[in-house]
Chain A
Amino acid sequence: MATHDAFREETCAWLEENCPASMRTPMAEDEVMWGGRKADPKNPDSKLWLDRMGAQGWTAPMWPKEYGGGGLNKEENKVLQEELGRIKARPPLFSFGLWMLGPVLLEYATEEQKQQFLPQIVRGEIRWCQGYSEPGAGSDLAGLQTRAIEDGDDYVINGQKVWTSYANYADWIFCLVRTDTSTKHEGISFILFDMETEGVTTKPIKLISGSSPFCETFFDDVRVPKSQMVGRLNGGWEIAKKLLQHERTNISSGGFGASASAGLEQLVKDHVGEEGGRIADPLMRDRVAKQKMTEHAFSLTVRRATEEAKAGGEVGAASSIFKYVGAEMNKSRYELLVEALGDQGLGWEGDGFNSDELNVTRQWLRSKANSIEGGTTEINLNVVAKRVLGLRDHQ
């Protein structure tokens, strides 16, 4: 206990000294710091804050120190998160490297690979993208066809990925490739390469919300050293699935958690009216309460899973429920908001709508992806039915 008090004191002092004032304010979507070689933050403090946190290893507080992480135990990390929360510090870094790739590198990579990649992730020097989906392989991801053929010390890669988030901004890609065409799952390998390698091109795709957060990604005779394969040849599927678990946990907890609870009731009050402190329309009020209750029960469930894991239980299966529940919950939240805003919730652009209203509309459209990205709702229900409930496929 006493040691944590000391740690809290040190942490508090360090944050006081190192967290710039502008990094303690709410963050708009275009202010998110993704790091990487092409990072061009609007506010130079974003870079400063990332550099300082990265040097401490506190972008990845629980990763081992030898790979650039913070080396904190759970208790210390809890203290750190509490102190960050207390000063309302922005996350210094959003990163597929932190959320998805890092955890599987720690588990599967060679010592050299860990030394090479993990510290860069911690410091936000390299921005990663995820090369999984292909035009013919979405839910049935293991049907992927992008081919990697051995040639001396290299693999030569040909094929196409799609829906690759931020591929046009990314420095490196973690990619699933086919290294054996005679089997399905056992013919997949997990490989890393630089997006500037000759033969890689990206083409942004526009979303229904108007933004272009993802791309088609093409590989034309891309040469990648064999040393950049993670795990064994044809052993990529296991790693791919592990990574997806990390992704789903992230989409459901961090992804929707924070913004999800704030402001719903106020926005509804503002737009449908208020009577004696209550939302004036009883039907709307009932639906807001239902939504808030689901969010409340969901956050309690996330907390319970954490406590169970701490008490020695297994995680894993629970993450599939989180993805499903979290995604559907976030979507229903935005449906409710758009309905409450009426006409003002359906504007596209221009002076007829204020920025909060336009933001709701765009977020509503964006939220539709929650039940598609990282494995669809239907696929997640399949997983729960089969893996958790033990139901069988057709014979």
Chain B
Amino acid sequence: MGLVLTEEQTLLRDSARDFIQDKSPVSAFRALRDAGNEDGYSKELWQGMAEMGWAGMLIPEEHGGLDFGFQGMGIVMEEAGRTLTASPLLASVVLGGSAIVLAGSDAQEKDILPKLATGEILLALAVDEGAHHAPERIMMSATRDGDGFVLNGEKTAVLDGHIADKVIVAARTSGTPSQPGVTPEGLTLFVVDGDAQGLTKTRRDMVDHRNSDTLTFDNVRVSADAVLGGVDEGGHLLNMVLDRGRVALAAEMLGSMSQVFQLTLDYLKERRQFGQLIGSFQSLQHRAAHMFSEIELSKSAVLAALTAIEEDKANASQLASLAKAVVNEAYHLISKEGVQMHGGIGMTDEHDIGFYLKRARVTEHALGSTKYHRARYADLSGY
């Protein structure tokens, strides 16, 4: 696509938009929350998404997927983001699926990909160990034990962790922590069954009502064929997987911020005070025009990053950090201004705008804050 959608991609976008608007409007998310759903997503909706082929978008055809490519994934994420759709797309399809597709052995691929492509099983990726994203500081230990390994430690902020059938976990087999722009050494990725002995999964109910869970590994024993990729060689793989997650998430956030902006713009054209539409006040006009330009910059960064990943460009990591940081800042601003420009009604639970504000902060933080990605971008650029 470069920076403009192809015809085929436009068709995909239109069908994704129709499906999402029809099956998953914001009211569907609201209903899910009101019902106190413990899964954090609707199984029925997920079934429908899988039927659309979205669970298999990144999976090769030989394993039952559509192999539609990363740009297509981005298009779907953006549409899902518009209505705050809660689904396993990011955790299972993008993060988990990419890990297997990039590094899975024949046996792992055969075992996992066909069922992943139909949406029958869900994956999760367990990376962080504190309140901030820091994959290069992983300390969870994996020690050799006969043919296999024993895992010990705690993982935090595992997206959709407690509902995962299999967890891909990054642990340290050697080496010491490094810097954000430097590929971490001594890490190994393992595929662990969700019901493995010694693994405890605890849901954390976040402000956006998605799952960002805590997983405790207490002497979890895995065999050698649980290793994903090579022993001590997980750093590079983890980077690639995380970059895919960051860019897909940035695409989702782009959809969300475009929608908050639209909601806000509609309100500026409808609400009257002092006998005027509030959108005729210049202080609001200028802020709206500024937000619009931030969205335009975000769109370019996201499209360039999607393309770089799809085409396996050398600067994919740099563009991933660019996209995540630029989108983080823009969504932050627009979600905040959205509430402000709605006045009192923007503070009510009844109005959707608050959902976007809350989701914004969680997504800004997930897979690397603005500060994290600025530091990484600087590292990757040599300053």
| Residues in A lying within 8 Å of B, measured CB to CB | 265, 268-269, 277-279, 285-286, 288-290, 292-294, 296-298, 300-301, 303-304, 307-308, 311, 313, 318, 321, 324-325, 378, 380-382, 384-386, 388-395
Please tell me if the beta carbons of B4 and A378 are within 8 angstroms of each other in the complex.
Answer: no
Please tell me if the beta carbons of B276 and A395 are within 8 angstroms of each other in the complex.
Answer: yes
Least distance between B323 CB and chain A CB atoms (Å)? 9
B51 at interface by CB-CB < 8 Å: no
Please tell me if the beta carbons of B383 and A278 are within 8 angstroms of each other in the complex.
Answer: yes
In the assembled complex, 9 residue pairs joining A and B whose CB atoms fall closer than 8 Å, in A order, are: A268-B383, A285-B383, A286-B378, A288-B383, A304-B299, A321-B292, A381-B290, A382-B286, A395-B275
- Name A's interface SS: helix
Greatest chain A CB density within 10 A among B276, B289, B322, B379 is at B289
Give 12 new A-B contacts, CB below 8 A, not counting A303-B300, A378-B286: A277-B383, A286-B371, A289-B375, A298-B297, A304-B3, A308-B4, A324-B293, A382-B285, A389-B289, A391-B279, A392-B277, A394-B280
- Encoded as 1 (CB less than 8 Å from any A CB) or 0, chain B from 1 to 36 comes to 011100000000000000000000000000000000
Instruction: Please give, as numbers and ranges, the residues of chain B lying within 8 Å of A304 by CB-CB distance.
Output: 3-4, 299-300, 303
Least distance between A327 CB and chain B CB atoms (Å)? 11
Instruction: Please give, as numbers and ranges, the residues of chain B lying within 8 Å of A381 by CB-CB distance.
Output: 285-286, 289-290
Least distance between A269 CB and chain B CB atoms (Å)? 6
Which B25-76 residues have a C-beta within 8 angstroms of A?
Answer: none
B321 and chain A: residue at smallest CB distance: A293
4 A-B pairs with least C-beta separation: A385-B285, A384-B289, A304-B3, A300-B300
A318 and chain B: residue at smallest CB distance: B296
Contact status of A385 and B289, CB under 8 A, knowing A286-B375, A304-B3: yes
B301 at interface by CB-CB < 8 Å: yes
B257 at interface by CB-CB < 8 Å: no
- Name B's interface SS: helix
Instruction: Please give, as numbers and ranges, the residues of chain A lying within 8 Å of B292 by CB-CB distance.
Output: 321, 384, 388-389
Q: How far is the CA of A258 from the CA of B184 in the complex (A)?
A: 35
Least distance between B128 CB and chain A CB atoms (Å)? 21
Q: How far is the CA of A386 from the CA of B279 in the complex (A)?
A: 10
A377 and chain B: residue at smallest CB distance: B286
Q: How far is the CA of A381 from the CA of B297 in the complex (A)?
A: 16
Contact check: which of A269, A293, A300, A325 meets B374 at CB < 8 Å? A293
Interface residue tally for chain B (C-beta within 8 Å): 39
Contact status of A392 and B4, CB under 8 A, knowing A292-B381, A297-B297: no
Instruction: Please give, as numbers and ranges, the residues of chain B lying within 8 Å of A279 by CB-CB distance.
Output: 378, 383
Please tell me if the beta carbons of B382 and A289 are within 8 angstroms of each other in the complex.
Answer: no
Q: How far is the CA of A313 from the CA of B276 in the complex (A)?
A: 34
Q: How far is the CA of A391 from the CA of B326 in the complex (A)?
A: 26
Q: How far is the CA of A289 from the CA of B378 in the complex (A)?
A: 6
Please tell me if the beta carbons of A321 and B296 are within 8 angstroms of each other in the complex.
Answer: yes
Contact check: which of A292, A300, A321, A385 meets B286 at CB < 8 Å? A385
B226 at interface by CB-CB < 8 Å: no
B304 at interface by CB-CB < 8 Å: yes
Please tell me if the beta carbons of A265 and B381 are within 8 angstroms of each other in the complex.
Answer: yes
Contact check: which of B2, B269, B279 meets A307 at CB < 8 Å? B2
Instruction: Please give, as numbers and ranges, the residues of chain A lying within 8 Å of B276 by CB-CB distance.
Output: 394-395
Instruction: Please give, as numbers and ranges, the residues of chain A lying within 8 Å of B326 by CB-CB distance.
Output: 293-294, 297
Q: How far is the CA of A147 from the CA of B204 in the complex (A)?
A: 73
Which B259-298 residues have a C-beta within 8 angstroms of A?
Answer: 265, 268-269, 275-277, 279-280, 282, 285-286, 288-290, 292-293, 296-298
B355 at interface by CB-CB < 8 Å: no
B190 at interface by CB-CB < 8 Å: no
Which B151-197 residues have a C-beta within 8 angstroms of A?
Answer: none
